[in-house]
Amino acid sequence: MAEYVRVEVADQIATIRLDRPKMNALNAQVQLEIAEAARQVDADPGVGAVVIYGGERVFAAGADIKEMAVMSYADMSGHSRTLQDCFTEVARVGKPVIAAITGYALGGGCELALCADFRVAGESAKLGQPEIQLGIIPGAGGTQRLPRLIGPSRAKDLIYSGRHVSAAEALAIGLVDRVVPDAEVHQAALDWAATFTGGPAIALRAAKQAVDRGLEVDLDTGLEIERLQFSGLFATEDAKNGMTAFAEKSTPSFTGR
């Protein structure tokens, strides 16, 4: 049983809850537990959407620097692959994923939030990639996912300077999608997640894969990914139900088949 990361499911929404006092530092154990939680919610047919939440005070303040400080190049050259793979498990969850950000989301915490499809932040949240201030660079996807989200110039500004950005600035540059009062962050994420439950799960997975994989390739290859996902959905019961309901002007009933 995981020590620092737990999965709570209610109303088809899974909350991946980080709980490592005091700041949810992402040490190696937490990274592995996050990956296992991601695999669990991805495989659960009763889960239609996912929220990642660090609690009322902090999302995740970053990697465990004390743990990293004693690691050699040889140590980190091996561990860095595990670190990236653990976060990629979150990015590859085939369901809508929303990061509910309170307090700090710095370094690895920001990189974890980048693995979600959407980000809801509290008004006092702070986000950033401060690794440069330690003489290193982001190693859990920050140099790759951040520029894909906000553009290379803005990403370089955050990565080169290591500065923290407020929730308001994060919203303005597209780093987060919504800003709400601090006390409402988790509920706002749950409410957003609820809009995806009961929907066509196979189509949602296909849409996510088409967008995410398409961003990694040239346009022609991306269009082929889309074509294959699109045509494949015509073999599903959901597509038949959806189009029949449209023709009959009734409400579709999706089963995830």
100, 51 in Cβ contact below 8 A? yes
Active site residue 111: yes
The token pair at 6 is 């737990």
Question: How far apart are the C-alpha atoms of 197 and 129, rounded to whole Å?
Answer: 32
Give Cα separations from 4 to 8, 80, 256 (angstroms). Answer: 13, 20, 31
| Half-sphere CA count of 127, side-chain side, radius 13 A | 30
Active site residue 33: no
Question: How far apart are the C-alpha atoms of 205 and 202, rounded to whole Å?
Answer: 5
Helix, strand, or coil (residue 98):
strand
Of 131, 169, 224, 248, which residue is the catalytic one? Answer: 131
Closest CA to 205 of 177, 232, 175, 241: 232
Of 111, 123, 237, 248, which residue is the catalytic one? Answer: 111
Please identify every residue annotated as catalytic: 111, 131
